[in-house]
Copies of this chain bind each other. A is one copy, B any other.
Amino acid sequence: MRLNLNKIKITMQVLKETLHKEGLRYTKQRQEIWNELRSSDKHRDAEEILFTLRKRGLKISRATVYRTIDVLVKNNLIDKLDIGDGRARFEYNDKYLHHDHLICTSCDKIIEFNNNEIEELQNKIAKQHNFKLLYHSHQLFGICKDCK
C-alpha cells in the first residue's frame, strides 16, 4: 500500500515535470488521462478514455482527450499504436521494457513481444542510412493460436 501510493506519486510527478518543462499547466483533466493510461496495460482508444473518465464523474471533452494524448505521445509518456482498423490505440510507454505487437486479424487479440535483436538491427539500419531514428512502428498481423 505504501509502495503503491508512492508509485502513483512518482508517475504524477513525471507528468508535472513534463508539463512544466513544456510550459503547460498541470490540470485535473491531464492528470486523470495520464493516470488512466499509466495504471492499465490495455490498448485504449480516445473515445474509450473519454467515456471511462466521464463515467467516473469527471467533466471532460473529446477535444481535451485528443489534445492531452498529443502532449503525452510527443513527450514519450505514452505510445500510439495502429492496429489497422482506423482507430489509434494508446498505451503507457515503459522505457525499461519496450515491446511491439502481434495482432490477430480474426479476433483482434493483441499479443506483446520484445526482441532485442530486432531493436539492434533497427539501429543498425538507421545508422547505415545516416538516419536519426526517433521511434518505430512494428506490427505482425496474422491468426492467433486460439483462432486457428
Return the CB mask of A114-141 against B: 1 if under 8 Å, else 0: 0101100110011001111111111111
Whether the Cβ atoms of A136 and B136 lie closer than 8 Å is no
A67 interfacial by beta-carbon distance below 8 Å = no
How many copies the complex holds: the figure is: 2
Within 8 A of B (CB), among A33-59: none
Whether the Cβ atoms of A143 and B134 lie closer than 8 Å is yes
Count chain A residues whose beta carbon lies closer than 8 angstroms to a beta carbon of B: 32
**Bound CA–CA A117/B124 (angstroms):** 12
A111 interfacial by beta-carbon distance below 8 Å = yes
**Bound CA–CA A106/B82 (angstroms):** 20
**Bound CA–CA A86/B138 (angstroms):** 17
Within the complex, which residue of B111, B133, B142, B148 is in contact with A142, where a contact is CB–CB below 8 Å?
B133
